[in-house]
Structure formats: C-alpha cells, structure tokens
C-alpha cells in the first residue's frame, strides 16, 4: 500500500510544480507584453499621444473678422455692423433635440418663424455644428438662458455681429446683402481653398457689392488657443492671433442723389443710372421698387419669399442692371452717329419728314408721333423734334448691316463690365442675331426681312437695352467717344491702416469717329431742350448747358389705323417714359438714363426727374417740396469722415467684445 501512496503523492507534486511553472511562465509573458506595450506607448508613440493629450487640453477657437463697411462718396455709411446675442443649439450635444427646443420655448419666446428658420438651417448644417434657434436675444432673454444653462447641454448664447443696411430699399440693388453659408457656398469655398478663413462664420455675400467684393469685405479670421477642462469649459487663454478686419469700400455713388431720385420717382416703377463721363464712376443706381435686404440676412421665411416673387411689380428684379426695354426715340442720336459715320447722310442734307412712311410696294403705314409730320428736316432738326418718319426712311436706306457695327461701338447689346453680377446683355439686332435667336423656328421666321430694319431706326422692333447700357452710351456720346468702364467702387480702404487704394478710371478705348460728327449730334440733343424741342419745358431757365433726348417706348403694338389711348390701356401695357441727357455740354460731369415704366411720354415723366437731379448735382438746388427729405443725409455728410471713422471704431470694439464674451 505504501509504495502506491508514495507514487501518487510524487505524481501530484510533479503536476503541481508543472502548474506553477506554467503559471510563472504566463505571468512573465504578461509582464513582457505589458512592458512591450509600455515601451510602444511611452517611447515609440510618445509624439502622437502627446499631441492628442495637448489637443484634449487646448481648444482652437476661431475669431471672426469685422466685416468692412460700405460708404458713399461723401463717407455716409451704407452697410455697417452691430453686435447682438444669438441662441444656438448643437444637435449632437443635446439630450434630445425636440425636447430641448420645447424646454427652451418655456424660457424664451420661440416664434413659428424662428422654428421654420431653425428647421431650414438644420437641413443645411451638420449635427456637430451650432445652429441658431433665435436671433438677437434681448438682455432679459439672455439672462434667463444663462440662469438655466446647466439644464441644456449643447445650448449656447453667443455674441455675434450682424449686418445692417440703413437705407434699406434705397440701396438694395446696389449693396445687396449677406446671408448664411449654404452647401453651395461651402463647396465653392472648398474649391477656392478658403474654408479655413470662414471657420466659425455663418455669413457670406450673396448679392450686389456684398458678393462681388466678398474677399475685400470679409477680412482674415484669427484664432485663440484656450485651455479647457474635462468638461470642455474654457479655463484660460494661452495664445491669441487677432483677426484682420475686412477692408472698407468707398463708392462713387452719392446717396443724396440716389435719395432724391427715389423721391422723384415716388411710387412709380423704373430705373435710373447716372455716370460721371470723365471717370466712369456711377453716381446713382436706382431700381424701383426695391426690397428690404434685412429680410435675407437671417433667412427669409416662405410667406415673405413667395410674396416678393409673386409681386407683379417685381421688387427683386434689378431693373437698372437686368431690365431690358426698347429704348424708343432715345436711340435716335446713336442712329444719327451711325448714319454720319457710314456716309449714309451728311450734316446739311434735308429730307422729308411726313406724317407716315410706307415701304415700296406696301400699303402699311409707319406713322409719325405727329400726325401731320414735320415737313422736312436735316438730321439735327430730326433729333430735336424726334421725327419718326425721318428715321424710318434713314434706317431703310442704311440697312441693318450698316447700322449694327456703329451702334455696337457705343456698347449697346454688350455687357458694360460694371462691378455687379448678373448684368443682362440686351439685344442689338443683326441678321446673325435673328438667325440664332429663332434657330428652332422655320426658315421664314429666321430670315431677316428688309422691313425688320424700319422700326429699329426709332428704337423699337427687336431693340432691347438695359438702363445701364443707355447711360453708358450717353456717357460715351458726352465724352466724344472715350469709353470708360462704369464702376461703383471708387476706393478700397484698409480698415486697420486707413490707407486707400483708388480704383483708377479705366479708359478702355476711344471710338474712331469724327469729332465734328459728335459735336453735330450733341447740338441736336441740346436743341431738344430749346423751343421747338420735345423737352423744351424742362429746358427753361437752365443755369448750365444740357443735352438730352426724350423717348416713348411702346410696350404693345398698336393695330394699323388704331389710335393709342393710355386711359383705355391697362397700366402695365402703357408706353414707357425714357430720357437720356448729359451736362454741362462743354465739359460733361454727369450723364444719365431714366426710364419710368408705363408713364407715357418721355418729356412728361422721365425728363423732369433728370432736370431736378441735374439741378441738385450741378447747382445744389433741391425741389422745394422735397427739401426736407434730404436734411438727414446732408447732416450726415457734414462730418462724414469723422462719422465713418467713429463707426468703424465702434464696430471693431463690438467685434472684440463679441469675440471675448463667454457663453453662459
């Protein structure tokens, strides 16, 4: 029995020792693995994990630059900034987005418009991005949210800068507006490598000068390194790189002239463009009606957007830039230049100007605005009295191939290149244009007929130009053929140093036309404002010399034999009232094109507006019944430079305050 017991004990002891060896071996292996992992983490991967740890401790906070100001030629502020608090929600950090919004609504008023806008912004944003729920909180609302901040993870109150346009509708089609960065904007920023400069920002220029000069106005973002605790709360600032504020834009535009033009238009629709012929600077740029750009900054609601789009007066259409109209008789001075330069007529030639004109072999009558006609006239006289039949016959004799190239020299049917987006081309008719325009139609529609040219001679037919093109052509006429590129911005001023970079006048070319022909046509235009001329009433008691041309553009064709009656015609189908002019004639300082939609004769509506503007711009005279409307502007202009500098300083201070303000 004893040997068996001894063997069993020995076997158990051997087995125990084996187990101990295996256990010790496993422990040693684990320690070796642990040591190897330690070496991997602490030695080989030290730099990597050190960076991660540093990032956990330090947050890089972008600092938005102060957007540049936009000022008129006298320093009056047209676009500025102000600070306000915004309630923002980061969806990924909340304990249920809907529940959070519902609870917040018990603390501050969340309107249906706020809710709709919030949902729209949510659809355009990522879950980890803060989305504004309510804009421009009052001080009381800000305090209430701050008191309950502990209840709402992912909810912040942030101090932000907002854009303000003091002149609202008056400058809406020039200044434009900024709006929230959407997906399309984001993609464009990525393509251009500008994403970093917009990190933390929500807005970008969407229309007008705000869009075209975005790079100048936006500035360069700064950043701040903030030490944070485990909860992500800021403890202290470690390093700060300040932003470079956006540059200020100083325009050639005179807001006093713009405001006076707006008052003179009243409730009527139309457009007006005034240009300095010597530089190309745009002095006034009005489209009536306008719209309130503030509606678009924080996101326009559906009902307002629908109302603006469906409004028959089309307030969103920039008529000065994109509206195309037949020019009516304002086309005649340029036709006269084409006739003289092509040798189709001489300055002394006298031709019939009867009550109607008929084509050979046709009974159709092209009637004159004066039923009895004007007897006979030379070219200058035909301009003065605006003889339609004279220009019908002239156009027929010349043909479109002679007319088109000379009219194109004035820039008609071409973009002027003004510093605004979306300029329309207009239509300067030609055989090639008609064939292309009606390419999908039968051959008999595409073909150019000799009769097509007759109506073109008086600015009707296929003719269609923008008020900007007509103002530019008038400036070229006034300047004896020197073509300056029209521009709104005159200077770009560095907001930090105050140094300005002038936008030099760009004399693109000079028309190779005879100086004597320019002088001849200008004399005819000057006579328009003298007794016998179509605008003689506004030419009375002129303290300066002035040349102009009235125009009445048909909107709908009148049947043969029918008589036009404005009273019997629906307003939107009535004739448009045109007037182009420049002054002083010997050394022009201002050239203008005015169209008042559906207002009838050019001498009745558009011409008086021009006379009042010229009186103000050249003589400082304001119509007695409108004097009060300009007092505020004049007061601002008195100390314009000081005011603009002070405003810039205030905006910068507000930006610093907004950047430094902690979230409650």
pLDDT in the model for residue 406? 98
Q: Look up tokens 């027929």; give the residue.
A: 396
Decide if 347 contacts 515 (C-beta within 8 A).
no
Report pLDDT for 128. Answer: 62
Spatial CA neighbour of 69 closest among 657, 646, 661: 646
Burial of 545 (0-12, 13-18, 19+ CB in 10 A): middle
Q: Do residues 374 and 390 make contact, with C-beta atoms less than 8 angstroms apart?
A: yes
Choice among 83, 125, 172, 329 that is catalytic = 329
Q: Extract the tokens encoding 219.
A: 């500035």
Two structure tokens written together for 551: 């125009």
| pLDDT tens-digit readout, 259-281 | 999 999 999 999 999 999 999 99
What lies within 8 Å, CB to CB, of 399 at 6+ separation is: 450, 453
Sign of the dihedral through C-alpha 442, 447, 451, 456: positive
Is 329 known to be catalytic?
yes
Task: From 84, 242, 220, select the one nearest 158 (Cα to Cα).
Answer: 84
Check if the beta carbon of residue 404 is closer than 8 Å to that of residue 413. Answer: no
pLDDT tens track for 37-52: 777 767 777 766 565 4
**What whole-number distance in Å separates Cα of residue 165 and Cα of residue 77?**
9
In 282-323, which ranges are continuous DSSP H helix? 294-297, 302-310, 319-322
| Domains observed in the chain | 61-251 (3.90.1310.10), 255-288+321-487+501-561+569-621 (3.40.710.10)
| Distance in angstroms (rounded) separating the CA atoms of residues 72 and 658 | 27
pTM of the entire predicted model: 0.83
- Cis status of the peptide bond prior to 289, with omega within 30 of 0: yes
Q: In the chain, which residues have pLDDT < 50? A: 52, 564, 631-648, 651-664
Q: Which of 105, 549, 493 is nearest to 327 (CA)?
A: 549
Report the C-alpha gap between 353 and 466 in whole angstroms.
29
pLDDT at 154: 84
Question: What is the Cβ-side half-sphere exposure of residue 32, based on CA atoms within 13 angstroms?
Answer: 6
Q: List beta partners, residue 580.
A: 549, 593
Angstrom distance (rounded) from CA 334 to CA 350: 19
Distances (CA, A) of 438 to 441, 443, 632: 5, 9, 52
Q: What percent of the chain has pLDDT over 70?
A: 85
CA angle at residue 328 from 481 to 610, to 5 degrees? 70
Residues pairing with 352 in the sheet? 376
- The pLDDT score that the predictor gives to residue 201 is 79
Burial of 273 from C-beta contacts in 10 A (0-12 / 13-18 / 19+): buried
Taking only the tens place, the pLDDT of each residue in 466-525 is 999 999 999 999 999 999 999 999 999 987 788 889 998 989 999 999 999 999 999 999
The pLDDT score that the predictor gives to residue 652 is: 47
At residue 68, the 3 state secondary structure works out as coil
Handedness of CA 440, 444, 447, 450 (dihedral sign): negative
* Residue 340: φ, ψ to 5°: -65, -45
């Amino acid at each position: 029995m004893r040997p068996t017991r001894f063997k069993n004990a020995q076997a158990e002891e051997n087995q125990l020792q084996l187990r101990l060896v295996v256990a010790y071996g496993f422990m040693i292996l684990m320690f070796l693995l642990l040591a190897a992992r330690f070496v991997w983490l602490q030695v080989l991967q030290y730099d990597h994990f050190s960076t991660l740890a540093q990032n956990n401790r330090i947050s890089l906070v972008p600092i938005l630059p102060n957007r540049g100001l936009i000022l008129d030629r006298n320093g009056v502020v047209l676009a500025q900034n102000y600070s306000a608090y915004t309630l923002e929600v980061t969806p990924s950090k909340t304990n249920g987005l809907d529940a959070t919004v519902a609870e917040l609504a018990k603390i501050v008023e969340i309107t249906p418009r706020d809710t709709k806008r919030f949902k729209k912004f949510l659809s355009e944003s990522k879950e980890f991005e803060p989305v504004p729920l309510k804009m421009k909180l009052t001080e009381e609302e800000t305090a209430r949210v701050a008191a309950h901040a502990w209840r709402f993870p992912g909810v912040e109150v942030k101090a932000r800068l907002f854009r303000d346009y003091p002149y609202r509708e008056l400058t809406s089609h020039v200044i434009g507006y900024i709006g929230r960065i959407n997906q399309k904007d984001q993609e464009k920023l990525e393509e251009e490598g500008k994403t970093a400069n917009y990190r933390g920002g929500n807005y970008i220029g969407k229309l007008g000068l705000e869009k075209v000069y975005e790079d100048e106005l936006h500035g360069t973002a700064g950043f701040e390194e903030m030490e944070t605790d485990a909860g992500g709360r800021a403890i202290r600032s470690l390093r700060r790189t300040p932003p470079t504020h956006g540059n200020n834009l100083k325009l050639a535009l005179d807001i006093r002239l713009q405001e006076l033009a707006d008052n003179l238009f009243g409730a009527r629709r139309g457009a007006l463009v005034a240009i300095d012929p010597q530089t190309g600077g745009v002095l006034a740029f009005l489209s009536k009606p306008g719209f309130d750009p503030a509606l678009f900054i924080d996101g326009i609601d559906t009902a307002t957007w629908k109302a603006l789009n469906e409004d028959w007066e089309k307030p969103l259409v920039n008529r000065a830039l994109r509206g195309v109209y037949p020019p009516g008789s304002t086309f005649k001075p340029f036709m006269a230049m084409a006739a003289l330069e092509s040798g189709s007529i001489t300055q002394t030639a006298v031709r019939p100007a009867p009550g109607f004109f008929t084509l050979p072999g046709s009974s159709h009558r092209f009637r004159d605005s004066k039923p009895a006609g004007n007897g006979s006239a030379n070219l200058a006289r035909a301009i003065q009295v605006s003889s339609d039949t004279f220009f019908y016959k002239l156009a027929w004799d010349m043909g479109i191939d002679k007319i088109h190239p000379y009219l194109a020299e004035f820039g008609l049917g071409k973009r002027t290149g003004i510093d605004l987006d979306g300029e329309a081309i207009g239509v300067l008719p030609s055989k090639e244009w008609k064939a292309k325009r009606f390419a999908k139609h039968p051959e008999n529609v595409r073909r150019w007929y000799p009769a097509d040219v007759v109506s073109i001679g008086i600015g009707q037919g296929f003719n269609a130009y923008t008020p900007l093109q007509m103002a530019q052509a008038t400036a070229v006429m006034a300047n004896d053929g020197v073509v300056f590129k029209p521009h709104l911005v005159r200077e770009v001023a560095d907001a930090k140093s105050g140094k300005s970079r002038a936008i030099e006048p760009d004399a693109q070319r000079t028309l190779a036309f005879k100086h004597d022909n320019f002088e001849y046509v200008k004399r005819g235009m000057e006579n328009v404002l003298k007794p016998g001329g179509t605008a003689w009433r506004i030419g009375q008691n002129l303290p300066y010399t002035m040349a102009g041309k009235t125009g009445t553009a048909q909107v709908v064709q009148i049947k043969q034999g029918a008589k036009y009656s404005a009273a019997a015609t629906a307003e939107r189908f009535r004739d448009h009232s045109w007037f182009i002019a420049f002054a002083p004639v010997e050394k022009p300082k201002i050239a203008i094109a005015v169209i008042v939609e559906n207002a009838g004769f050019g001498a009745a509506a558009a011409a008086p507006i021009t006379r009042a503007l010229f009186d103000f711009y050249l003589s400082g005279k304001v119509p007695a019944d409108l004097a009060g409307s300009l007092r505020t502007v004049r007061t601002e202009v008195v100390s314009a430079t000081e005011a603009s500098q002070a405003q810039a300083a205030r905006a910068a201070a507000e930006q610093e305050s907004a950047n430094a303000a902690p979230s409650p």
